[in-house]
Amino acid sequence: MEPEATKYQSVDKPSEEVLFKERKSKFYGYTFPIDSEEAVKPILEELRKRHPSANHVCYAWQLGVSDIRYRANDDGEPNNSAGMPIYGQIQSFDVTNILVAVVRIFGGTKLGVGGLISAYRETAKMALENSLIMEKVLTQQLILVFEYSEMDSVMRFIKKHQLDIVDQKLHLDCEVVLKVQKDMVPDILKQLKAFHKISIKIPE
C-alpha cells in the first residue's frame, strides 16, 4: 500500500482578476482556496453580484489529496464546453483545495463549442498563472485534556515539538487543541502515551 500523501499544492489566497477577450465576449478568471464544498456557493454568488450583466459563471473545483473530489459546471454553456476545460487546467497545474471560476459576458458573436472550450481553458490557465501557488502540508487536530497541575509538562512538550496551538481552555480541567502535521501524528501520539495524566481526543 502506498503511503498517504501529506503534501499538496494550492493557491494561498484569492487571485487578482484576469481578463481574456474573444470576439467581443469577455471572460473574467479567478482562483480561490477552498477547504470544503460549502465554501463554493457564497463565492459564486459574490461573483454574480460583481458581474450583474454576466451570462454565465462557469467553474470547477477540486478537494482532497489522496481521496479526491471534484465538480465541473457549465452554467448553461453547451455540455462540457466550460467546466471540464477549466477542470483540465486544475489538473494541469497539479493543484487541489481550489475553485477556479470564469465569468462570461457575451459579446454578441457566438463562438461555437470549440471556441468556448478554447476560451474557458485559456482564461483558467491565465488565472492559475496569475495565482501564488504554494506547497501546503496536511494537518490533523489533536485535543489534549488534562488537569491544571500538568500544564508545565504539556507546554514543555508542545514547545519541544514546535506544535501549533489552535485553541485552549485553561481552567481546573484544561483542554488544548493542537494542529499537527499529519505524517507526525503517529509519533506524537506514541510520545504522549508516556504522560498518563493526559487524555487525547482526535476530532472526526
Q: Do residues 33 and 11 lie in contact, with contact meaning Cβ atoms separated by under 8 Å?
A: yes
Confidence band for 2, pLDDT divided at 50, 70 and 90: very low
Q: The pTM is what?
A: 0.71
Q: What is the pLDDT of residues 133-175, one digit of tens each?
A: 888 887 788 888 998 888 888 999 989 888 888 888 887 788 8
Model pLDDT, residue 3: 43
Tell me the average pLDDT across 13-27: 91
The alpha carbons of the chain give a radius of gyration, in whole angstroms, of: 23
Model pLDDT, residue 86: 95
CA atoms within 13 A on the CB side of 180: 23
Model pLDDT, residue 204: 67
The span from the CA of 45 to the CA of 74, in Å, is: 16
